[in-house]
């Protein structure tokens, strides 16, 4: 004799849809806030950042991290450009 199985209950898709509709909508982030930070960089602030970075890297050059002073200087420029992209316009080659 074969045993009788009880039929499986099908879950309705409506119940899962209603749960997701109760979520609060995501807030849209504005891109302006990040752009205003970049434009607020002045030539003087970029030069100050570069000066501090050169000082740090020259100290590391004396400890033996860099092979030459020129390398330490080049790394300083690239690190400042990477950290604050708005300074690129002030450090361009002529």
pLDDT in tens for each of the 94 residues of the chain? Answer: 566 666 666 665 555 555 555 666 666 665 555 444 545 689 999 999 999 999 999 999 999 999 999 999 999 999 999 999 999 888 877 6
In a domain, 11, yes or no: no
Q: In the numeric block, which tokens belong to residue 5?
A: 């199985």
In a domain, 34, yes or no: no
- Burial string for 36-73 (b: 16+ CB within 10 Å, else e) reads eeeeebeeeebeebbeebbeebeeebeeeebeeeeebb
Domain hosting 45: range is 41-94
Helix (H) or strand (E) holding 14: helix 13-21
Q: In the numeric block, which tokens belong to residue 24?
A: 């609060």
pTM over 0.75: no
Number of domain units in the chain: 1
Phi-psi group of 57: left, alpha or beta (phi > 0 → left; psi -120 to 50 → alpha; rest → beta): alpha
């Amino acid at each position: 004799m074969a045993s009788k199985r009880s039929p499986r209950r099908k879950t309705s898709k409506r119940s899962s849809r209603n749960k997701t509709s109760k979520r609060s909508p995501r807030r849209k982030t504005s891109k302006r806030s990040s752009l205003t930070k970049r434009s607020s960089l002045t030539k003087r602030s970029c030069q100050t950042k570069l000066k501090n970075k050169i000082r740090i890297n020259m100290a590391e050059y004396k400890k033996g991290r860099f092979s030459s002073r020129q390398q330490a200087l080049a790394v300083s420029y690239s690190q400042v450009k990477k950290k604050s992209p708005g300074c690129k316009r002030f450090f361009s080659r002529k």
